[in-house]
Structure 1
Amino acid sequence: MRDNLSRSTVTLLTIGCFFAFFLFGLTDNLKGPTLPMMLAELNINYGTGGNIFFGQYVGFFIATLLTGILADRFGLKPVILLAGVCLALGVGGYSTFKTAALLSLSLFIIGLGLGAFELGPNAVIISLYKKQKGLYLNLMAVMHGLGSTIAPLFAGWLLSLNETWRVIYRWDLLMIGAFILFALFLRFPKPEEKTAFDFRNISRVAFKDAMPLYYLAIAFYVAAEIGISSWLVIYLQKIHAVSVSASAQALALFFAMLMLGRFIGGFIVHRFGYLRSILTASLFSIFTIAIGTFTSLYFLLPFTGFFFSIIFPTLTAAVSDTHHENVNTLLGLLFTFAGLGGLFGPWLVAWGSEFFGLQIGFAVNLIIVFMMFTFALILFRMDEKKRTVN
């Protein structure tokens, strides 16, 4: 598909995808550092706060399910533009409304935008860089890490100036508008197939061979990443008496480690092997979460981001290697399960904290990561067995 595009067009598309993922990381991770102020303003408990967040991941889940089909049918440009519009509407509402129901609705719309962002740029990069997709997917994910790193630092800075959490979100609208204008003038690659997804054959297309294991692995990964990023700030403040600025910096370090790991990992995952890289990374993340949660070495928790870093983009690259038909639809289903994980991860932490205390609630992340490791191990052994037979 890249052969039909000029070099300048490929470069602009790559910049657009990287910008989209920067915006993805920034928008998605403003909620963690602003959570304590939002709970205090509305005078609600952890569980209700988790229910508000739940709206975003319902939207993400729905978007990832539908946008893959829409991309195969109509192309990637409408999907990405729709993502930008949803982000603008959702962020505008979230920074304005004052009831839990309307805030949840706004996050639902934000989730629709983020879900479309998850599918669109990934599909574009895969179509542009077929032989180097592992490298470019990880480099694009670096931009997500950069946005995610800046989010808590930016939020913490504005909070230190006594700005409200709503003002923080309103600044985000400026970059969303810039992205929409940029994307309007881009020429996107056309889908290789203009066929509608056949729901009668969904099991044949999407659930054959090891695909269900990939879905489960990415679901548990996203559940853990968002469970940690959404609750790390308030966990450090309430359990370890860490200051507002220091806890925001800890979250920024978590995403800085994600960014650094993806930059380094982008150059080695292909050589080391996709599944071997995922398995190794998930094992080390178990150690940092366990030690950081159950000992006084809580400062290790942000370093989990380094080991988390390569898992999502490398799973995406591994799946795209296994199928070459209805790729956008298949990626949409993969990201749908990612959205399902993102939906339940922070929600489980929220209600675990509500019933058993914040310490135990945050430890739910360890169970989630262990499940991810289990499915990664099964996939790795299946791949090794297949290679031995061949």
Structure 2
Amino acid sequence: MENSSKIKMRERPKLNYFILLLVVFGGFLIFGFSENIKGPAIPRMQSEFQLDEMQLGLLLAFNSLGYLIACSFTGILSARIGIKWTGILAFSSMTVSGVLMYSSTSYAFLSASYFLMYIGNGMLEIGLAIMAARIFTKNTGTMMNLSHFFYGLSSTIAPIIASSMMGWNVFGGELGWRGMYLIMLSLSLLPIIPSVIGKFPSDDLKAEDRIPLKQFFKDKIAWLIVAILSFGVVSELAVGGWLVYYLEKAYGWSLDSASGMLSIFFLFFMLSRLFLGPVTDKIGYTLSIMLLSAFSGLCSLAAILIGQEGAILFAVAGIGIAPIYPTVMALLAKRYPSSTDSAITFTVTLMGIASVIGNLLIGGIIDGVRAFFQSSRGAAESSVLGLQAGYGFIAILALLCSATCAVLYFYLRKKNELV
């Protein structure tokens, strides 16, 4: 009887750990879907609401603003109501945003619906990052990349599923982008089940052991990490928003072909997170980020210069950009073990500001270059030049991520604090 009781006590933590893995992995699956079904949907939204590129950039920037706002308060919210209820609230808000998106009748209504979805995404990402940092105390780089692998998994199939679903015949009419968003975002209800059942890790650190949030503003290393994450993530997320549009407009590809290339990008993205996690633990997080982001930027630039024949390099770039975010999260967990929550909040919130600026710049660069060359090169050629300049900026961001990481690498090596 006593042995049976001991076995049950040992099994409970294992079962709870499995339940928490369902929440983390399921959360990243949902996150990947909500982020990357927009690629095939954006051209249809543009056509229905008659939007130009600047309005598209503004739409994505406004979404990033919602993400930023969520990042700024989620750490405080999770401390007040707990990670469990923060996650449940995030999943619920994403479901509601799908209903509102289905009902949107104007550009303003659509923007507000997207804004709510990104509020949920921001809450979810911070909550999952905090939870993962508390759970994965060993092989942190591997486990962080494995968690984000599930984001890559859903991102790989999201464009193809979204493209297919929009053409479904439902009740005598086409499902369209509205119905597709409604169905996909309703999947956010599923991770709520293990969230309710699971016992989430608490933070046992005393207040005096924590680094105050304001202290991060004085930390040079913290600012370098912010810059690294900002350049890398803006470059990563921009692919989901602009690659399908680029291939359709610059090369005249069909929606299915362009969406297929985006899926190949996320296939490489997914496999990179699955297999390169152990590499980041072995050679170090800082060196890994520096090498991988440089690879991504060079692939994207080469794809633009080669032209349509080199389009596969847009997808290959996913190998390099994929590990950046989870590896930075692992770096934060190791660099600031007593204040990971504050470090994540500081870093991701400022990264959100960069996302707002980055999306605005991409749309502005496309419009600006196109307008500059329109009188001398004609409408068709100037449009292609604008798209090349905009996507070239995405590639340059990845190279800036690598360059900034090189600065951090040599700075930490000089202080003998490499992570």
* Residues 1:34 and 2:63 aligned together: no
Contact 1:276 1:380 in 2 (8 A): yes
CA distance in 1 between partners of 2:112 and 2:220 (Å): 37
Shift of 1:384: 1.6
Q: Determine the structure 2 residue equivalent to 1:78.
A: 85
Aligned to 2:104, what secondary structure does the other structure show?
A: coil
Provide closer, same or farther for how the CA distance between residues 346 and 5 of structure 1 changes in structure 2, counting only shifts above 3 A: farther
CA distance in 2 between partners of 1:305 and 1:194 (Å): 40
CA distance in 2 between partners of 1:95 and 1:350 (Å): 25
Q: Which 5+ residue runs of structure 1 have no aligned equivalent?
A: none
Contact 2:210 2:338 in 1 (8 A): no
Q: Determine the structure 1 residue equivalent to 2:353.
A: 340
Shift of 1:254: 1.1
1:237 aligned to which of 241, 248, 264: 248
Provide closer, same or farther for how the CA distance between residues 243 and 67 of structure 1 changes in structure 2, counting only shifts above 3 A: same
1:272 aligned to which of 283, 288, 295: 283
Q: Within 5 Å, give how 1:115-154 maps onto structure 2.
A: 115-154=122-161
Aligned to 2:191, what secondary structure does the other structure show?
A: helix
Shift of 1:339: 2.0
Contact 1:221 1:341 in 2 (8 A): no
* Residues 1:328 and 2:341 aligned together: yes
Bigger shift: 90-99 or 279-288? 90-99
Q: Determine the structure 2 residue equivalent to 1:300.
A: 313
Q: Determine the structure 1 residue equivalent to 2:221.
A: 210
Shift of 1:198: 10
Q: Determine the structure 2 residue equivalent to 1:311.
A: 324
CA distance in 2 between partners of 1:39 and 1:70 (Å): 36
- Runs of 4+ in structure 1 off by over 4 angstroms are 193-199
2:231 aligned to which of 208, 220, 224: 220
Q: Which amino acid aligns with 1:190?
A: S
Contact 1:69 1:332 in 2 (8 A): no
Aligned to 2:190, what secondary structure does the other structure show?
A: helix
CA distance in 2 between partners of 1:222 and 1:148 (Å): 15
2:362 aligned to which of 349, 356, 359: 349
Q: Which amino acid aligns with 2:195?
A: A
Provide closer, same or farther for how the CA distance between residues 99 and 388 of structure 1 changes in structure 2, counting only shifts above 3 A: closer
Provide the aligned length of Structure 1 versus Structure 2: 386
How much is the aligned-residue C-alpha RMSD, in angstroms?
2.2
Q: Determine the structure 1 residue equivalent to 2:379.
A: none
Aligned to 2:415, what secondary structure does the other structure show?
A: helix
CA distance in 1 between partners of 2:219 and 2:311 (Å): 41
Task: Report % sequence identity.
Answer: 25
Shift of 1:318: 0.7
Q: Determine the structure 2 residue equivalent to 1:61.
A: 68
CA distance in 1 between partners of 2:100 and 2:260 (Å): 27
Q: Deviations over 1:106-138 (max 9, x none)?
A: 111111111111111121122112112211110
Shift of 1:184: 2.1
Aligned to 1:267, what secondary structure does the other structure show?
A: helix
1:99 aligned to which of 73, 84, 106: 106
Provide closer, same or farther for how the CA distance between residues 27 and 177 of structure 1 changes in structure 2, counting only shifts above 3 A: same
Q: Which amino acid aligns with 2:121?
A: L
1:166 aligned to which of 162, 170, 178: 178
Q: Determine the structure 2 residue equivalent to 1:175.
A: 187
Shift of 1:288: 0.3
Bigger shift: 75-84 or 14-23? 75-84
Q: Which amino acid aligns with 2:183?
A: W
Q: Deviations over 1:269-321 (max 9, x none)?
A: 10011111111101111210110112221221011111111111011101111
CA distance in 1 between partners of 2:263 and 2:150 (Å): 14
Contact 2:101 2:113 in 1 (8 A): yes
CA distance in 2 between partners of 1:75 and 1:16 (Å): 15
Aligned to 2:416, what secondary structure does the other structure show?
A: helix
Contact 2:53 2:366 in 1 (8 A): yes
* Residues 1:52 and 2:59 aligned together: yes
CA distance in 2 between partners of 1:318 and 1:388 (Å): 12
CA distance in 2 between partners of 1:110 and 1:25 (Å): 13
CA distance in 2 between partners of 1:105 and 1:160 (Å): 25
CA distance in 1 between partners of 2:348 and 2:11 (Å): 27
Shift of 1:197: 12
Q: Which amino acid aligns with 1:189?
A: P
Contact 2:101 2:182 in 1 (8 A): no
CA distance in 1 between partners of 2:352 and 2:208 (Å): 22
TM-score normalised by structure 1 residue count:
0.93
CA distance in 2 between partners of 1:233 and 1:333 (Å): 32
Q: Which 5+ residue runs of structure 2 have no aligned equivalent?
A: 1-9, 169-173, 370-385
Contact 1:274 1:315 in 2 (8 A): yes
Q: Deviations over 1:59-113 (max 9, x none)?
A: 1111111112222343211221121122112222122212111111111111111
Q: Which amino acid aligns with 1:371?
A: L
Contact 1:72 1:328 in 2 (8 A): no
Shift of 1:193: 4.2
Q: Determine the structure 2 residue equivalent to 1:373.
A: 402
Shift of 1:205: 4.0
Q: Determine the structure 2 residue equivalent to 1:364.
A: 393
Aligned to 2:183, what secondary structure does the other structure show?
A: helix
CA distance in 2 between partners of 1:277 and 1:47 (Å): 35
Bigger shift: 67-76 or 280-289? 67-76
